Structure 1
Amino acid sequence: MSSDRFLLIKSWSYTLWADIDHVLCQLLIAEITNRIPVIYWPTHCLHNGVVQTNGFELYFEPISNYTIYHLAKPDYTYYPPIWDSDSLLADDRNRDTWMYRNIGEIISSDANVVVGDAYYNVSELIPFLKKNHSVYGMSAEQIYHYLYSKYIRIKPDIDMEIQSYYNSFIKNNYPVLAVHVRKVDKSVVFDARHSKEYGNQYWNKVYKRYTKNQNEDKIRKIYPKGKIKKPNDLYKSEIRKFIEKYNIKKIFLLTDCEETVREYKKLYGSMLIYTDCKRVLGGDCVSHMENPMIKRRRGVEIIKDTYIASKCDFFIGNDFSHLSHTVTRIKDWGDKSVSLLYWLYKRLKYPVNVMLIVKKDSNNVFSRIKNKAKEFIDKCKKKLLKGGS
């Protein structure tokens, strides 16, 4: 590997597990392009907050022996061309335009320093893998397992907390089910009744309705002809399936919401275990939980819960959550040990922690009989109008 070819991996979303997802994909690009990876998360990342530090290294061991300061040399060339040795520490506020961020251009660049601040998923990178690469022929999930096991190492103090909790509450309680429940997003309601009009590009279309924390009664008035699917309602039936099938002894709950803890304590009693960490009430914003200068503790709590969940025997999570997907990537669970939940309506997926409006169910037996009878009567009417017998 050349000592003057680098890939600078900047933060993408400023949230912890979303940025780790981004880091893993960029590390694969570094392998494809034979570059030395250097990770830099600035002060304003959600879980950094400490002035003049690299947020990544607050929680994880360095990936290489280089820092961003080794890359800021006047004689180096940079890609995208918006960067130079003076601007390297800054963020590009126009990166959402994707200018100079085509995957092919990133991979084929001859610059000394390529800056990776745009997100590509592993599936997009698979076509660029050569036959001699160690992950050639693997699925996207297998590649994630490979990248995670090769590169991500948590700091010793965090690992010590994880092992202590595991030995005290998980180790001797086989089998344990981990459950990740995201806080209900009360500000968004998806009206999916006309989703076919928008094809697969449903996420940014007009039936994503903002309700400004209105309660369910008001929402019913807004959507009088729709059926409401309540946020996180799928969890209870899915948990019951795991308990009955695998004789679950303990349920380890991961959640950012205090109300969810109270609800699950009532439902599962002494079966429920969870870490002692700071959580918010349903209407509060997670990103404003504490003073910016003490944010590391919040990041430690998230990592601790995630790794403890990965040590459990089974897992139920949210398919729209980076945390849930991280739990599935830390180790290979097998096909039947993990269930990632989402609302499915007309072959489209929606987050399970939001309210979904669908058409009222008309697929029961009586409705089908009624529809068949109506079709028969309509046919008869048409024949009579044409003079049929």
Structure 2
Amino acid sequence: MNTPAPPARSGPPDSVLVVGASAAGLSTAEALRRKGYGGQITVLGDEIHPPYDRPPLSKQVLSGAWEPERTRLRDAGALAALDAEFLLGEAATALDVPALTVHTASGRSLRAGAVVIATGVRARRLPGQDGLAGVHGLRSLEDSLALRQELTPGRRLVVVGEGVLGSEAAATARKLGAEVTLAGPLASPMALQLGPVVSGLLGRLHAENGVRLRLGTAVAGLEGAQGRVTGVRLQDGETLPADVVVVSIGGVPATGWLEGSELTLDNGVVCDSRCRAAEGVYAVGDVARWHHSGLGRSLRLENRTNATEQAAAVAEAILGSDRPYTPVPYFWTDQFDARIQVHGTVRPDAHCEVVEGDLDGRRFVLRCSGEGNQGAATAVVGWNMPKQVRLHREQAFASQLPTPA
């Protein structure tokens, strides 16, 4: 979707309603104030907590290194300085697009001059998961704290899902002394995000640290007895014994409350290149699927960096800017002693070569290009070389990076 820009407004809206007190939602409010917006800002969130950071949930919070308060994105003073109204513990239930009005579970009707959707994603669930004790997701602060209570040394944990979140949870749990098995249909951890070379190396790192890899076979379901999980059943018939299970099989954009709203919903809120879903309605963060004009296709990114960068773009659009949002995708992950950073997208057909460091030393930068791209870089991947990977990013994507103000 790449609709023409709407007719020019006479000025910015008198009020902005942000639905979702997430990192993306908070960053939108902050970007509006930073850019001089003086109108009313309301932030509506279905959780009772002030905005908090989610990447630490599978690492610092799960390990016990951080207490929950440390995940807060801003202290009370900083939130007060925003001069925004925070309505927490209040879920949105519907959006009237023509009226720019959001209805809530308690019966409120909130109208604004512009609405920003920042409701993120919900965790996918396995059949039979509900009602079984010992089965955990890892999307909220409560999820992380509940799982932390169960990860005592020697307990048998099966992590279902070999993506970013599942791999991080497996690494953290192993460091806590749990007996960890990582299960999923792909051949190696984070294979879709990293490609075969780096994901294969990550698999070896997990195995060296005592994680059992049961990959290459999909999970069929869960086994239980007397209301508690006892194992994870694979499609080949094997059952992996488990005292605790983490289900990390991806997220579903939280758009159920938008059904019937006239917005286009297709793996997220479908937006144009300005992150606009309809006149006066924008989407930001994990829930937003927007047209990336640089790549020529729709894109939805689930990572912390995009939440902040897209929020700035949405704030500019609300204030009248007419520039497309064309970021170089970026994410990072910390597992055991490895920090892995990915700029761009590692495509399935990628040809990757080491441009600095070496694989055996586990300090390297890879430059990846896809077939048919005449050598153009599609990704730069770094393993424990943060400074060097940034330099190679600047070289590989020089024409796509924003010009400093």
TM-score normalized by structure 1? Answer: 0.21
TM-score normalized by structure 2? Answer: 0.21
Structure in which a larger fraction of residues adopt strand? 2
More RCO (CA 8 Å, sep 6+) = 1
Larger Rg over CA atoms: 1
